[in-house]
Amino acid sequence: MRVLVVSHLWEPESGTPQRRWGWLTDSLVGAGHQVDVLAPPPHYPTGQLLDDSPRCAVGAVAPGRHGERITRTAFRPHDPTLPSRMVDQMTTAASQVRIGSRLVQRHRPDIIVATAPPLPAATAAMTLGRRHHIPYVVDLRDVWPDLLEYMNQWAPTTGRNDPGNPLRRKVFRAAARAGGVSTNRAIHRAAGIITTTSSFSELLEERGIQHTLTLRNLGAVRETSLPPVPEESPTLNVLYAGTTGRAQELENALRALAEVRERGADVRMRVVGSGAHLKTLRHNAGTLDVPVEFTGRVPFDQVMDHYRWADTVLVHLQDWKPLDYTVPSKLYEVLELGRHITLSVNGEAAQIVRAAQAGDAVPAMDREALAQLWWELYHDRRRLQVGAGGRRWLASQGTPEENGRRFVEFLEGLADRAH
């Protein structure tokens, strides 16, 4: 079987989507299948070209480290604002259709897989699939396009990342809505949909999607463990490691931190990562006068040092209904490591933490509940000892190898059904 993957993100970039598809590509190649990839030159997360070697030039074809063959498409450098990122995504999608059509004529795939977000990748795959009569699958890693209903809440608290003047905002929102319509069309016309949570698969099935596969981000989990947190300490160290973006809304956590410190608990926070709200968070942490260390993005292999520092790891999302069907990839990592989890998320993620007895869950965006939890953990550090419950829960989901085989069999079945 020949598989064509349409993606906006690919190695040598580093991130959860790239690690996910490294794992899935290994599974396909290990099963004897050929994998072609359409992806722009590496420019994540800065928006600027990260590698100017000939192998990353537009139109270049080069082998990847998992046995895939990568054809590079066009992209447009961007800044952190949404309109700028959207232009880049649409530029890449148009190039993927153009270059992909030539690729399909030379090496016709049996199936096309789009990995989204960004949303235009799904539209590019749909266009290629329908134009050349090839089945396509969407690896829908987040609950798009449902989240587009919350566009008006995407700007940070200070409004610093607002798309601009009123006319520009209207244009941006109109383009985003059009993208949502196109993505919905791509989802309903796809031969199959891959999700990262069982609850989202069930929701799609209720909407009439016949063929779904739940494929959690288990391939990115590292088999390691950490020493237990100290039984006694004058501080409670809270780590947040991940994207500081619109859906995470860490402003709520900063205010919970200020509240618990006002009550006399020495709780400190470290934020490892970057995103659209990072500058706003730095500013607001200073305004609130709370001890928050911002490290920015660090290499994947250096995150372990921050986990060793942590007494508890914060996983935080907005109180948006679509996010009830989301499980942040970072959650699986912390379950494997055995650190106590402070979860401020609703839905399936909260069910997992409670079932695994891997920490404590409070309602999303409930500042008072979050502050109260940290107050209790500060005064009773025994609750930080969560044991191996997280690893047992992960083991119940199957190994990365077993899930990789499920993925391969899913694609094989859809490709066979189409012929």
Segment 323-376, tens digit of pLDDT: 999 999 899 999 999 999 999 999 999 999 999 999 999 999 999 999 999 999
CB of 209 within 8 A of CB of 193?
Answer: yes
Question: What does pLDDT average to over the chain?
Answer: 91
Q: How far apart are CA 151 and CA 318, in angstroms?
A: 13
pLDDT band at 156 (very low <50, low <70, confident <90, very high): very low
- CA distances 279 to 1, 85, 244, 324, Å, are 46, 17, 9, 27
The confidence score (pLDDT) of residue 170 equals: 73
Beta bridge partners of 5: 37, 113
**Phi, then psi, of 355 in degrees rounded to 5:** -65, -35
Overall average pLDDT of the 234-248 stretch: 94
Q: How far apart are CA 411 and CA 419, in angstroms?
A: 13
**Residue 71, Cβ density class (10 Å: 0-12 exposed, 13-18 middle, ≥19 buried):** buried
User: Which residue is it, tokens 């959207």?
Assistant: 86
Q: How far apart are CA 19 and CA 220, in angstroms?
A: 6
**Residue 177, Cβ density class (10 Å: 0-12 exposed, 13-18 middle, ≥19 buried):** middle
The confidence score (pLDDT) of residue 160 equals: 45
Tell me what percent of the residues of the chain surpass a pLDDT of 90: 76
The confidence score (pLDDT) of residue 123 equals: 95
**Residue 366, Cβ density class (10 Å: 0-12 exposed, 13-18 middle, ≥19 buried):** middle
Segment 159-191, tens digit of pLDDT: 444 445 667 667 767 777 777 788 889 999 999
In eight-state DSSP terms, residue 196 is: S
The confidence score (pLDDT) of residue 164 equals: 53
Look at residue 157 and tell me whether its pLDDT is greater than 50. no
**Residue 385, Cβ density class (10 Å: 0-12 exposed, 13-18 middle, ≥19 buried):** exposed
* Domains of the chain, each with CATH number or no CATH: 2-216+398-418 (3.40.50.2000), 236-396 (3.40.50.2000)
Structure tokens at 22: 């490294």
Segment 371-407, tens digit of pLDDT: 999 999 999 999 999 989 999 999 999 988 999 999 9
Segment 29-73, tens digit of pLDDT: 999 999 999 999 999 988 999 999 999 999 999 999 999 999 999
